[in-house]
């Protein structure tokens, strides 16, 4: 029997942030993930925006944790060697009447504690953001907004947590949770037994960070007080040739249900446009639509007219796990020891480090003895990305290790050395390699490099080529190996 102090269900950016935070204490912790790799659920479709806190009500948990998270992410990204760029955001308006909305947003954000806000005029915009539509009359400038790779952050958090003792079980869909202490009173903790496809675990505390499935996990212990409704967002990535399209994140005025279609700058340099916001029934519906594309193009072009459909090199859809208006982060009184972290939609990525700290405080309040480790390893060695290096650094690296000069993905300039490194850090699928290294994420979309990456992955993980998948069982790339026929 595997016994733990805490089990975290869900290996997205929230689950990994909580893992890393709790791994600084003398606790035995495990993380369960249903997919073959971490960050393959809600997190993989995240836009990668670190929000300043301009679009959340001052009294909300979302607003408070967003602001705290925005501050914390700087330190965490430094410690973990994940690139964070503070590029700032502009919320743009098309008429003088709408300027009052900007002032209202500014006032609310200032009450929340957002600093550096400024309403800027057309002259400012012309100088700092020349590709914006001339019809835009003003914008709210928030300099503390930034961008990060959501999956690289999740992988870095998990790697660091593992270094500090976290145990990760992938392909571990939770099937059943047994609450083993029948009589409860205030301050006591339940002992849970969790059954997955492969194992049975016992734990004193459960953190439910299961994203779209948080309601179903919660129901397993008899808590039915919220429901997760998937809200789809379609996003479209443009060619890196357009990387100077904008200098900031460009937002329209927010609506009740979403922040609207945004012109995003991604960590890799490609602009991205989207997302749509559409409530759907199916928690696995990740399809994009022709209507979605038309809508996103139209709304993005309204802000940046030079955006061209022809520059699209990739697209995808993600599902936001929507519960209430606000995040649900609480220990359930009816089941002591069971902590729900649910409905973490935007600004969930930004808030994740703050959510993690809040969960730590909740556990403490609920009787968990938490003692800091003396030998907590705060830092993680930065992953090398050849394309980010200066000429002299790259030259030195290639001379030290020739595999870094052996380019596999030529569109994004990713070497065999980087791909091997990603596999050693835990990538077991082609998508896992793509998220970590950018290989196959460029304009040829893997047309030239897929076979080479498959071979490296097969070799490093000692599996046949027919076992190599795009993102886990059932998504094998090839059906048969003819060389194996006889």
Partner 1 sequence: MMIERNLVIVGGGPAGMAAAISAYEQGVNDILLLERDQYLGGILNQCIHPGFGLDYFKEILTGPEYADRFIKKIRDIPQIEINLQSLVVDLGADKTLTILKPGLLQQVRAKALIMATGCRERTREMAHIAGTRPAGIYPAGLAQKLINIEGLLPGKEVVIVGSGDIGLIMARRFVLEGASVKAMIEIQKQAGGLLRNVIQCLDDFDIPLYLCHRIACIYGKKRVEKVGIIKIDDQGNDIPDSHFYIECDTILMSVGLIPENELIEMAGVAIDRKTNTPLSQELNKTSIPGVFVCGNAFKIYDLVDSVSGDSGQAGVLAGEYLKKKN
Based on the shown chain and the rule CB under 8 A, indicate whether residue 364 belongs to the binding site for partner 1: no
CA dihedral 405, 79, 40, 255 (to 10 degrees): -120
Which residue's CB is nearer to partner 1, number 94 or number 316?
316
Furthest CA-CA distance within the chain: 75
In angstroms, give the least distance from the CB of 3 to partner 1.
34
In angstroms, give the least distance from the CB of 395 to partner 1.
4
User: For residues 154 and 44, is the Cβ–Cβ distance under 8 A?
Assistant: no
Task: Kindly tell me which residue out of 94, 376, 377, 448 binds partner 1, with binding defined by CB under 8 A.
Answer: 448
Residue 120: exposure state from Cβ atoms within 10 A (0-12, 13-18, ≥19)? middle
Catalytic residue chosen out of the listed positions 51, 128, 385, 445? 51
User: For residues 173 and 197, is the Cβ–Cβ distance under 8 A?
Assistant: yes
Based on the shown chain and the rule CB under 8 A, indicate whether residue 399 belongs to the binding site for partner 1: yes
223-242 mask for partner 1 (x: CB under 8 A)? ------------------x-
To which residue do tokens 């394309």 refer? 387
**Residue 28 CB: number of other CB atoms within 10 A?**
15
Binding segment (CB under 8 A) for partner 1, from list 50-58, 252-260, 327-335, 404-412: 404-412
DSSP state of 41: S
Catalytic, 128? Answer no
Task: Kindly tell me which residue out of 403, 425, 426, 467 binds partner 1, with binding defined by CB under 8 A.
Answer: 403
Which residue's CB is nearer to partner 1, number 101 or number 443?
443
Based on the shown chain and the rule CB under 8 A, indicate whether residue 398 belongs to the binding site for partner 1: yes
Task: Kindly tell me which residue out of 395, 459, 461, 463 binds partner 1, with binding defined by CB under 8 A.
Answer: 395
Residue 448: exposure state from Cβ atoms within 10 A (0-12, 13-18, ≥19)? middle
Up-side HSE of residue 13: CA atoms within 13 Å toward CB? 30
Based on the shown chain and the rule CB under 8 A, indicate whether residue 445 belongs to the binding site for partner 1: yes
User: For residues 87 and 147, is the Cβ–Cβ distance under 8 A?
Assistant: yes
Question: Interface residues for partner 1 in 252-311 (CB under 8 A)?
Answer: 284, 286-290, 292-293, 309-310
Cα angle 334-337-340, degrees, rounded to a multiple of 5: 80
Based on the shown chain and the rule CB under 8 A, indicate whether residue 463 belongs to the binding site for partner 1: no
Site size toward partner 1, by CB under 8 A: 53
Task: Kindly tell me which residue out of 362, 407, 426, 467 binds partner 1, with binding defined by CB under 8 A.
Answer: 407
Binding segment (CB under 8 A) for partner 1, from list 89-97, 111-119, 225-233, 471-479: 471-479
User: For residues 228 and 322, is the Cβ–Cβ distance under 8 A?
Assistant: yes
327-346 mask for partner 1 (x: CB under 8 A)? --------------------
Which residue's CB is nearer to partner 1, number 226 or number 448?
448
Residue 167: exposure state from Cβ atoms within 10 A (0-12, 13-18, ≥19)? middle
In angstroms, give the least distance from the CB of 264 to partner 1.
17
SS (H, E, C) 411-456: CCCEEHHHHHHHHHCCCCCHHHHHHHHCCCCCCCCCCCCHHHHHHH
Binding segment (CB under 8 A) for partner 1, from list 142-150, 198-206, 406-414, 420-428: 406-414
User: For residues 246 and 263, is the Cβ–Cβ distance under 8 A?
Assistant: yes
Based on the shown chain and the rule CB under 8 A, indicate whether residue 479 belongs to the binding site for partner 1: yes
For residue 97 the two structure tokens come to 């009447």
Residues that bind partner 1 (CB under 8 A): 241, 284, 286-290, 292-293, 309-310, 312-316, 391, 394-395, 398-399, 402-403, 405-407, 410, 413, 443-448, 450-451, 465-466, 469-483
Residues recognised as catalytic: 51
């Amino acid at each position: 029997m595997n016994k733990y102090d805490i089990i975290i269900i869900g290996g997205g950016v929230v689950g990994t942030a909580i893992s890393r935070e709790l791994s600084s204490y003398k606790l035995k912790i495990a993380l369960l993930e249903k997919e073959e790799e971490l960050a393959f659920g809600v997190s993989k479709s995240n836009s990668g925006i670190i929000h300043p806190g301009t679009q959340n009500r001052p009294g909300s948990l979302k607003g408070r944790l967003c602001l705290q998270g925005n501050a914390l992410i700087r330190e965490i990204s430094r410690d973990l060697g994940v690139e964070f760029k503070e590029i700032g955001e502009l919320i743009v308006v098309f008429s003088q009447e709408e300027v009052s909305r900007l002032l209202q947003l500014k006032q609310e954000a200032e009450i929340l504690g957002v600093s550096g806000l400024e309403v800027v005029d057309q002259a400012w915009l012309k100088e700092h953001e020349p590709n914006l539509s001339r019809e835009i009359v003003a914008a709210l400038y928030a300099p503390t907004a930034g961008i990060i790779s959501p999956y690289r952050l999740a992988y870095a958090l998990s790697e660091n947590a593992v270094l500090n003792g976290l145990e990760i079980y992938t392909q571990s869909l939770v099937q059943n949770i047994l609450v083993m202490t029948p009589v409860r009173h205030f301050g006591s903790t339940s002992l849970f037994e969790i059954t997955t496809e492969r194992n049975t675990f016992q734990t004193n505390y459960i953190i439910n960070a299961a994203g779209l499935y948080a309601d179903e996990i919660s129901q397993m212990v008899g808590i039915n007080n919220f429901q997760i409704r998937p809200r789809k967002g379609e996003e479209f990535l443009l060619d890196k040739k357009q990387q100077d399209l904008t200098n900031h994140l460009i937002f329209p005025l927010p609506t009740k249900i979403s922040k609207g279609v945004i012109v995003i700058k991604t960590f890799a340099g490609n602009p991205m446009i989207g997302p749509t916001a559409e409530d759907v029934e199916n928690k696995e519906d990740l399809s994009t639509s022709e209507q979605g594309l038309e809508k996103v193009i139209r709304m993005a072009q309204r802000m940046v007219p030079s955006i061209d459909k022809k520059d699209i090199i990739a697209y995808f859809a993600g599902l936001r796990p929507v519960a209430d208006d606000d995040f649900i982060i609480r220990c359930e009184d009816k089941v002591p020891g069971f902590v729900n972290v649910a409905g973490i939609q935007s600004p969930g990525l930004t808030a994740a480090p703050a959510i993690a700290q809040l969960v730590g405080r909740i556990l403490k309040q609920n009787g968990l003895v938490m003692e800091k480790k003396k030998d907590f390893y705060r830092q993680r060695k930065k992953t090398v990305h050849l394309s980010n290096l200066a000429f002299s650094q790259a030259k030195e690296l290639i001379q030290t290790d020739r595999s870094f000069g052996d380019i596999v993905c030529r569109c994004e300039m990713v070497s065999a050395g980087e791909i091997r490194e990603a596999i050693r850090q835990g990538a077991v699928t082609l998508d896992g390699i793509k998220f970590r290294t950018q290989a196959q994420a460029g304009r040829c979309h893997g047309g030239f490099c897929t076979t080479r990456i498959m071979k490296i992955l097969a070799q490093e993980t000692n599996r046949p080529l027919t076992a190599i998948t795009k993102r886990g069982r059932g998504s094998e790339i090839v059906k048969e190996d003819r060389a194996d026929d006889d």
